[in-house]
Structure 1
Amino acid sequence: MSRINVLFIGFMLFSLFFGAGNLIFPPLLGWESGDNFGPAITGFLITGVLLPFLAVMAVALEDNGLISMGSRVHYIFGIVFAIIIYLSIGAFYGIPRASSVAYELGFQQIFKIDGRWGVFVFSLIFFTITYLISLNPKKIVNRIGQYLTPILLLVLAVLVIQSFMTFENVSSPAAGKYASAPLVAGILEGYFTMDAVAALAFGIVIINALKDKGAASKKELVKGTLVSALVAGTGLVAVYFSLGWIGRVIPGETSFQNGAEILTSASGILFVTSGNILFGLIVMLACLTTCVGLINACSSFFNEIYPRLSYSHYVTIFVIIGLLVSNLGLNMILHVAVPLLSFIYPIAIILIILSLLEHITGKSKTMFQLAVAVTAFYALYEALVSIGFELEFLTGLLDIAPFFEQGLGWVLPGFLAAMIGYGIDAIKNKPVDKSRQNE
């Protein structure tokens, strides 16, 4: 397996992560954090880059990927949780969201077309292109790694370099959450990119790509994944920092609601009439590569667990689902997805971290079962509250946990449960001193 192939796989992984959501988070962070940009972007990189990196490695170290990770709790849980991950982050959320964002923040920046017919025609074209690229998984590395990623990086580089040359770094106070605890605020902002869950889906894409390029042994697959993830992670760090810096130094007193407005404004200032075209092109390329990766991941996964349907059949199914759901509109997609993602994301994170720790601490089934049970309890609470349930009787009990108000109340209880579970198994499996038994 050549180094150039691993490099292109790393480029592909970068493109799969770098969707429109990732594009618009860092500029807003930069704008709001002001003089506290350093600790804020550091926090963002911890959960926006490091955590997805760990997720990819966790999948690579497993013989059966995500299913094996979930099976530490129970085999049925492993299957069901994997299916939920792929359907939620892919077919019913990530894929249609990519198309909707490409239309609203990309296509409309250039053509200014409104109405339901505009959405339908764009999504039809978008998913036709996605279908054609996704149809042959062995060529995805070439199409994304060799062509789409370099184009995306080139367009981004034009915006970033011009920003560094034009905008001045002037002192500005941090706003809101970034004023008191910028590191924690940055961690939470990166947390909401949902990339750790996406990484669980993308793991199978990387493994299959490495196998197609000649990786045969487990050692080669793990090494190839590590190098590819480092390439992708390095690219993400550079791009996130640069986009955040644009938000940090953009001039004017304008109040921005989101990162898309910041990048659109920066493009307009730097390139005048061509600014919207540049930003629209960046968004559409970012969404296209993410959508291709998600369809490939979902199709490969379901083809493995139910091979009676071919890979191409699954591609067709997920393209059609994406086309139909994307026409509901971005706001509806986000509204429906929030409760589901609020539930699965904490469970996914605890599984990722414990799966990696197990290679150091040794196996402990009770550790996984207790940690996932406690984390799922908190996650279910957050999901129910997000859809309007009044659970005041539980709030008083759960809000003693640190970061509860930010939706991270599960962290300390979840890891305490893991430690207790590990201790229980350690006691159960402790060798018996037979000489003492005979006393």
Structure 2
Amino acid sequence: MKTRLSGFEVLALGFMTFALFLGAGNIIFPPQVGQGAGIAFWPAALGFLVTGVGLPLLGIVAVAIVGGGLDRLTSPLPKVAAMLFGLGIYLSIGPLFALPRTGTVAFEMGMRPFIDSAPSTGLAIHSVLFFGLATLLALSPGRLVDVIGKWITPLLIFLLMVIAAATLLFPQGPLGPISESWVDAPFAQGFENGYLTMDTLASLVFGILIVSAIRERGIEDRRTLMRYTLMTGVIAATCLAAVYLPLAYMGATSHEVAAGADNGTLIPTYVQALFGPAGPVLLAVIITLACLTTAVGLLTSCGEYFHRLFPRLPYRVMVIVMGAFSALVANQGLDSLIRVSVPVLVALYPPAIALIALSMLRRQLADAPRVFSCTMGLTFAASLLDGLAASGIETLVKPASTLQAMLPLGETSFGWVLPAAAGLLLGLAISRRSGVSLDPALAD
């Protein structure tokens, strides 16, 4: 059993973690935040960093604290609730939303600028090739750290640094005007836009990959494992923040060269203005590498989860089925995927935040099942209103919005905060009366 890792090993693990998180949403949404915020760049960027960097880091730490993956994190919940929550997360970051989005973004931002006609045919061909390669790599997960951490990520970081430096040194205009929908609460808008990266949900899944990778290097002591997990997470979080801020600044200064650009066209337009004809080529390499590494990580994690859920189906079969299904879903297009995913993520994110917070306190909680159930139950009830209000379904939007407005902070997307606090206090009160001892599953 080893007691320490070399600096190179820690750095490789940190780079692997960064590459797993740096996917489609991490590249397309920061510029959208900057574009909407304009002169309110800093509060909006800070809100985005909380959900896009801070919470994923805490999610990784929470996984290390409980010593297992999502199954261990949700073990205090009733079995049916834990299974449904797990399914919601894995389907969201897997074959329904995040996984197909990697292929769609790789096409829209990496390949589309080079295709003059028949984009639907190009997307179909690209989806088959992209997910075929991702599936092949996911079928050999043992080499994931070596390939991603030691080779792909350093190249990716270098290329992103080139774009970041050019954006900061040669902005294509001053900070633009703030959009009307961002005026009242730019921090809250940035915070909610961070949901779209899905990184907090992904941290509950990728966390066990990171912990397992550290264990494979001979680290077994719990405190040492925690320390290296935190170091790995901090490296990844620092890299993510270093990517997000320049990309958000790109969006904030884009109103002269990319006015009204949508999800898939803002960055290509801006990069071409910066680098000329070489810009699209540079961007194609970055986007393809970023999306491919994330797709491999998602296929691996989701394949292992669904294999545990349905043990009669081999891991390889799960990966192949999800890869093929994702290729089909990817052909719906980027805007459609984003539009459908928003209400689901708005409903799922607050319970995930509550789960992370409770897991970090779990060793100090008596009667964890009651505390978890009360807190997450009330949190989900409130966040479900937000999800229904964002669904775009007319018969649901109006009543959900009316109830949402009755909650304190409801109009700023933080209506779930007080219900979460009330659930925590209720659970603690019940716990105190029951006199149950600390969670035995986490006893030293």
TM-score of the aligned structures, taking structure 1 as reference length: 0.89
1: CA distance, partners of 2:219 / 2:308: 19
Task: State whether structure 2 residue 289 is matched by structure 1 residue 285.
Answer: yes
- Checking the alignment, whether the CA contact within 8 Å between 1:15 and 1:149 is kept in structure 2 is yes
RMSD: 2.6
- Checking the alignment, whether the CA contact within 8 Å between 1:6 and 1:227 is kept in structure 2 is yes
For residues 52-109 of structure 1, give each alpha carbon's deviation from its aligned partner in whole angstroms, at most 9, with x where no partner exists: 1111111222233211222212133223322332122112221111111211222112
Task: State whether structure 2 residue 78 is matched by structure 1 residue 74.
Answer: yes
For residues 294-318 of structure 1, give each alpha carbon's deviation from its aligned partner in whole angstroms, at most 9, with x where no partner exists: 0111122233444444433332222
Select the residue among 322, 335, 340 that pairs with 2:326: 322
- Checking the alignment, whether the CA contact within 8 Å between 1:398 and 1:404 is kept in structure 2 is yes
Task: State whether structure 2 residue 201 is matched by structure 1 residue 197.
Answer: yes
- Checking the alignment, whether the CA contact within 8 Å between 2:176 and 2:254 is kept in structure 1 is no
Name 2:419's counterpart in structure 1.
Answer: 413
2: CA distance, partners of 1:142 / 1:416: 46
- Is the partner of 1:154 in helix, strand or coil? helix
- Checking the alignment, whether the CA contact within 8 Å between 2:172 and 2:256 is kept in structure 1 is no
Structure 2: runs of 5 or more not aligned: 438-444
- Is the partner of 1:405 in helix, strand or coil? helix
Which stretch shows the higher mean deviation, 177-186 or 198-207?
Answer: 177-186
Task: State whether structure 2 residue 232 is matched by structure 1 residue 224.
Answer: no
1: CA distance, partners of 2:108 / 2:266: 15
- Checking the alignment, whether the CA contact within 8 Å between 1:109 and 1:277 is kept in structure 2 is no
Task: State whether structure 2 residue 315 is matched by structure 1 residue 311.
Answer: yes
Select the residue among 405, 424, 429 that pairs with 1:423: 429
- Checking the alignment, whether the CA contact within 8 Å between 1:14 and 1:236 is kept in structure 2 is yes
- Is the partner of 1:25 in helix, strand or coil? helix
Select the residue among 48, 53, 56 that pairs with 2:57: 53
- Is the partner of 1:233 in helix, strand or coil? helix
Question: Shift in Å at residue 165 of structure 1?
Answer: 2.7
- Checking the alignment, whether the CA contact within 8 Å between 1:40 and 1:184 is kept in structure 2 is yes
Tell me the amino acid that sits aligned with residue 260 of structure 2.
F
Question: Shift in Å at residue 122 of structure 1?
Answer: 0.9
Question: Shift in Å at residue 139 of structure 1?
Answer: 0.4
Tell me the amino acid that sits aligned with residue 25 of structure 2.
G
Task: State whether structure 2 residue 80 is matched by structure 1 residue 87.
Answer: no
- Checking the alignment, whether the CA contact within 8 Å between 2:382 and 2:419 is kept in structure 1 is no
Task: State whether structure 2 residue 115 is matched by structure 1 residue 102.
Answer: no
Tell me the amino acid that sits aligned with residue 417 of structure 2.
V
Select the residue among 23, 43, 46 that pairs with 1:42: 46
For residues 320-350 of structure 1, give each alpha carbon's deviation from its aligned partner in whole angstroms, at most 9, with x where no partner exists: 2222222333344344434433332222221
Task: State whether structure 2 residue 268 is matched by structure 1 residue 264.
Answer: yes
- Checking the alignment, whether the CA contact within 8 Å between 1:26 and 1:259 is kept in structure 2 is no
Structure 1: runs of 5 or more not aligned: 432-439
- Checking the alignment, whether the CA contact within 8 Å between 1:343 and 1:383 is kept in structure 2 is yes
Which stretch shows the higher mean deviation, 174-183 or 196-205?
Answer: 174-183
The number of residue pairs the alignment matches comes to 431
Name 2:127's counterpart in structure 1.
Answer: 123
Select the residue among 17, 22, 27 that pairs with 1:13: 17
- Checking the alignment, whether the CA contact within 8 Å between 2:355 and 2:376 is kept in structure 1 is yes
Tell me the amino acid that sits aligned with residue 369 of structure 1.
S
1: CA distance, partners of 2:64 / 2:284: 35
2: CA distance, partners of 1:171 / 1:115: 33
Name 1:435's counterpart in structure 2.
Answer: none
- Checking the alignment, whether the CA contact within 8 Å between 1:207 and 1:221 is kept in structure 2 is yes
2: CA distance, partners of 1:12 / 1:197: 17
Name 2:362's counterpart in structure 1.
Answer: 358
Tell me the amino acid that sits aligned with residue 45 of structure 1.
L
- Checking the alignment, whether the CA contact within 8 Å between 1:40 and 1:187 is kept in structure 2 is yes
2: CA distance, partners of 1:295 / 1:53: 21
Task: State whether structure 2 residue 384 is matched by structure 1 residue 380.
Answer: yes
Question: Shift in Å at residue 264 of structure 1?
Answer: 1.8
1: CA distance, partners of 2:118 / 2:206: 33
Task: State whether structure 2 residue 256 is matched by structure 1 residue 252.
Answer: yes
2: CA distance, partners of 1:397 / 1:112: 48
Question: Which structure has the greater CA radius of gyration?
Answer: 1
Cα gap change, 1:424 to 1:362, in 2 (>3 Å):
closer
Task: State whether structure 2 residue 2 is matched by structure 1 residue 2.
Answer: no
2: CA distance, partners of 1:287 / 1:244: 19
- Checking the alignment, whether the CA contact within 8 Å between 1:350 and 1:371 is kept in structure 2 is yes
Tell me the amino acid that sits aligned with residue 165 of structure 1.
L
Name 2:442's counterpart in structure 1.
Answer: none
- Checking the alignment, whether the CA contact within 8 Å between 1:91 and 1:322 is kept in structure 2 is yes
Name 1:437's counterpart in structure 2.
Answer: none
- Is the partner of 1:243 in helix, strand or coil? helix
Tell me the amino acid that sits aligned with residue 244 of structure 2.
Y
For residues 99-146 of structure 1, give each alpha carbon's deviation from its aligned partner in whole angstroms, at most 9, with x where no partner exists: 112112221123345344322211111112212222211100111111
1: CA distance, partners of 2:80 / 2:315: 24
Question: Shift in Å at residue 251 of structure 1?
Answer: 7.0
Cα gap change, 1:378 to 1:271, in 2 (>3 Å):
same
Name 1:28's counterpart in structure 2.
Answer: 32
Select the residue among 349, 373, 395 that pairs with 1:345: 349
Which stretch shows the higher mean deviation, 97-106 or 31-40?
Answer: 31-40
Tell me the amino acid that sits aligned with residue 148 of structure 2.
I
Tell me the amino acid that sits aligned with residue 433 of structure 2.
I
2: CA distance, partners of 1:279 / 1:106: 6
Which stretch shows the higher mean deviation, 134-143 or 324-333?
Answer: 324-333
Question: Shift in Å at residue 37 of structure 1?
Answer: 2.0
Question: Shift in Å at residue 175 of structure 1?
Answer: 3.4
Question: Shift in Å at residue 48 of structure 1?
Answer: 1.1
Cα gap change, 1:34 to 1:92, in 2 (>3 Å):
closer
